[in-house]
Amino acid sequence: MNGISLFYIAFAYVAVAIFIIGFLARVWKYAKTPSPLNITLTPGPTSTTGVVYRMVQEVGFFKSLFYSNRIIWLGGYIMHLGLALVLIKHFRFFFTPAPASLAWITTFEAYAGFIFLAPLLFLFALRLITDRTYYISLITDYGILALLMLIAATGILTKYYVRTDIIDVKAFVMGIVSFSPAAMPMDFIFILHFTLVMLLLIYFPFSKLMHAGGIFFSPTRNQADDPREVRHVTPWAVKG
């Protein structure tokens, strides 16, 4: 096994460890952050069941974004659908043999990368041409979109134009998963694609991408609108 393979095997373990530990640490921080005041975004649900239903709407359909900006909602929703298809498609690299339940994804496999890339380009362009969005955008916002676009583009290149031996790729990934490292395919585009994905994993816990976990701890959405029915008293205001 050559030095490049050894480097990327170690790189993969480090990237995954940073992602898992960083993600869990951020979620723990969110969970431990006190939220003593009822600051529900009204009109809001008045029961726990209603809160669950609201969260399903927010997580599954981006309800608030839909009502606030339907153009951004369209781009964001299609991008997330494309990402879901891409992730499901890549699950086959982690199983031998691949589960039969994933066979249906081959119907959409040819389009997954493009469904992911096209809305990313659209959202990037919106940040440049929409005055309000341009004004509030930070360099990190463009950076994460650029990273995701490069991942999508190199993935498409690997599949359609600079084909990498899929058997070698699966052997390499399965070797990492099973802690029985195998040689890495020596195709430049695949190496670039893999490098970008590992950089994304490392950056994820420290970026705005943590909204994937943080949304569940948003007090404006995970609280019931019941200040009239329940008196909410901060712990330090309670007299002994």
Q: Which two tokens stand for residue 197?
A: 């994905």
Write out pLDDT tens, residues 70-111.
999 999 999 999 999 899 888 878 877 766 666 666 666 668
CATH of the domain at 197: 1.20.950.20
Whether 20 is in a domain gets the answer yes
Mean pLDDT of all residues in the chain?
A: 89
Whether 22 is in a domain gets the answer yes
pLDDT at position 112 is 87
Whether 26 is in a domain gets the answer yes
Whether 235 is in a domain gets the answer no
The total number of residues shown for the chain amounts to: 240
Is it the case that residue 210 has pLDDT exceeding 90? yes
Is it the case that residue 240 has pLDDT exceeding 60? no
Write out pLDDT tens, residues 50-73.
999 999 999 999 999 999 999 999
Phi-psi group of 179: left, alpha or beta (phi > 0 → left; psi -120 to 50 → alpha; rest → beta): left
> Is the Cβ–Cβ distance between 154 and 196 less than 8 Å?
yes
Whether 43 is in a domain gets the answer yes
DSSP 195-222: HHHHHHHHHGGGSGGGHHHHGGG-HHHH
* C-alpha span between 211 and 219 (Å, rounded): 13
Is it the case that residue 123 has pLDDT exceeding 70? yes
At 209, the pLDDT band (50, 70, 90 cuts) reads very high
Q: Which two tokens stand for residue 130?
A: 């929409």
The number of domains in the chain is 1
pLDDT at position 33 is 87
pTM over 0.95: no
Q: Three-state DSSP class for 185?
A: coil
Whether 17 is in a domain gets the answer yes
* C-alpha span between 191 and 170 (Å, rounded): 14
Q: Which domain holds residue 35?
A: 3-229
Q: Higher pLDDT residue, 189 or 39?
A: 189
Whether 240 is in a domain gets the answer no
